[in-house]
Amino acid sequence: MVDVSIVVPLYNEEDNVVLLHQAISDALVDFAPSYEVVLVDDGSRDATFARAADLVALDPHVRIVKFRGNYGQTAAMAAGIQDARGDIIVTMDGDLQNDPLDIPQMVAIIYQGYDIVVGWRKKRQDGGVRVFVSQVANRIMARLMGVAVRDSGCSLKAFRAILVKQLPMYGEMHRFIPALSRLAGAKLAQIEVRHHPRRFGVSKYGFSRIYKVMLDIVSIRILLSYVRRPMAWSRFLLVGTFMLGVTALLISVTGDGLALPTLAIAVLWLSLSLFLLGWTVVGQMLASLSNKVSGYAELGARLSVGLSKQGD
């Protein structure tokens, strides 16, 4: 059994993989807890896997999970996290922009009783557009989710395994781990981490992300309120549309003569509130069919039991 698992998704990082391993080994040379490195090869088309496989022969800490195709960063992280054996899981990017020197400090904070530690790249070394996009996304996320995370795009994070193995991980959920953790009742800490400019390879991000992230935030926000109270996720809209319908109905009958457009509008709103009621019931049915919903709701209680200190 190991204490700490370091999960690194790799996609076409043939130049970085050896350097990355070197950096991790150097950073953890005086590290007391035992550790393992889980490299996830996300269907790279270059020599990433071959070079990583060489590392396995040299270093017993290293394990590789090789994907059959390219499934994206979230899938790679999810696979690495599921495969990790440590009580604490650290995730980081494979492009050397995160510095493994920050890992010991993050792990120490988890041992102090936090459930999740998020890195904050105070001095980001990326292009201006990308930093801007990320800042806007973080603002929106903080506002909508009610969780102020300075830099949720930073991949360098540490968590307790029981927390992160429970979180939903599909689509591009990895971006929402801090917010999801907080809403599950986890104790969250943020620390400043080092950030380096990219040395090799190309960044795999684009500008259209902000729009996708916004849509994702809406759906995750709804999902979470659904998880807490399966009946309540559409409550606000349901009541709102019903009131609008009633108002329009009143206007149409109290005016002189029966105003046809207003009546039509009343019918539309009222039918919408009926439909929403239907959807809500469908959602409730899905919740009663699945134990995932209740499992996620109980996560907070399990987290309140602390992690045993190293060496206990």
Partner 1 sequence: MALSAKLDLVETTDLSVVIPVLARFDDIQKVYAEYRDTITATGRSYEFIYVIDGNMDFPIDALEQLQRGGEPIQVMRFSREFGEAACLREGVRRSTGRHLLFLPAYFQVGPGAIAELLDHLNDADVVTVRRQRSDDAIFNRLRGWGFEKVARFAGAKYNDPGCSVRAAHSSVFDEIPVQDEKQRFLPLLAEAHGFKVMQLTLAQAQSDAARPQHRLGVYMDVMLDLLAVGFLVRFMQRPFRFFGTVGAGSVVCSLLLMAFLLFQREVSNVPLSDRPMLVLVVLLLVLGIQIAAIGLIAEIIIFTRGDGKQHYRVEKIVEQVAGDA
Candidates 33, 104, 171, 185; binder of partner 1 (CB under 8 A) is: 171
- Alpha helices, H only, 146-290: 161-164, 177-183, 209-228, 235-254, 260-289
Q: How far apart are CA 130 and CA 207, in angstroms?
A: 7
Nearest CA to 165 out of 289, 52, 299, 49 is that of 299
- Taking CB under 8 A as the rule, does residue 20 contact partner 1? no
Q: How far apart are CA 89 and CA 7, in angstroms?
A: 7
When the beta carbons of 159 and 233 are compared against partner 1, the nearer one is: 233
Q: How far is CA 14 from the centre of its chain?
A: 26
- Taking CB under 8 A as the rule, does residue 207 contact partner 1? no
CB atoms within 10 A of CB 34: 13
Binding letters toward partner 1, positions 79-108, x by CB under 8 A: x--xx-------------------------
- Taking CB under 8 A as the rule, does residue 279 contact partner 1? yes
Candidates 17, 23, 75, 149; binder of partner 1 (CB under 8 A) is: 75
When the beta carbons of 39 and 107 are compared against partner 1, the nearer one is: 39
- Structure-block tokens of residue 4: 């700490």
Instruction: State the helix-helix crossing angle for 235-254 and 260-289, rounded to 10 degrees.
Output: 160
3-state DSSP call for residue 117? strand
Tell me whether residue 296 is exposed, middle or buried, using C-beta atoms within 10 angstroms of its C-beta: 0 to 12, 13 to 18, 19 or more: buried
Q: How far apart are CA 74 and CA 167, in angstroms?
A: 12
CB atoms within 10 A of CB 294: 12
CB of 241 to partner 1, least distance (A): 8
When the beta carbons of 295 and 306 are compared against partner 1, the nearer one is: 295
- Structure-block tokens of residue 1: 């059994």
- Taking CB under 8 A as the rule, does residue 34 contact partner 1? no
CB of 195 to partner 1, least distance (A): 28
- Taking CB under 8 A as the rule, does residue 176 contact partner 1? no
- Taking CB under 8 A as the rule, does residue 271 contact partner 1? yes
- Taking CB under 8 A as the rule, does residue 236 contact partner 1? no
Report the site for partner 1 in 213-232 (rule: CB under 8 A): 215-216, 218-219, 222-223, 226
- Structure-block tokens of residue 146: 């009610």
Binding letters toward partner 1, positions 45-64, x by CB under 8 A: -------xx--xx--x-xxx
When the beta carbons of 40 and 106 are compared against partner 1, the nearer one is: 40
- The footprint of partner 1 (CB under 8 A) covers 43, 52-53, 56-57, 60, 62-69, 71, 75-76, 78-79, 82-83, 168-172, 212, 215-216, 218-219, 222-223, 226, 233-234, 237, 241, 251, 255, 259-262, 264-265, 268-269, 271-272, 275-276, 279, 282-283, 286-287, 289-290, 292-293
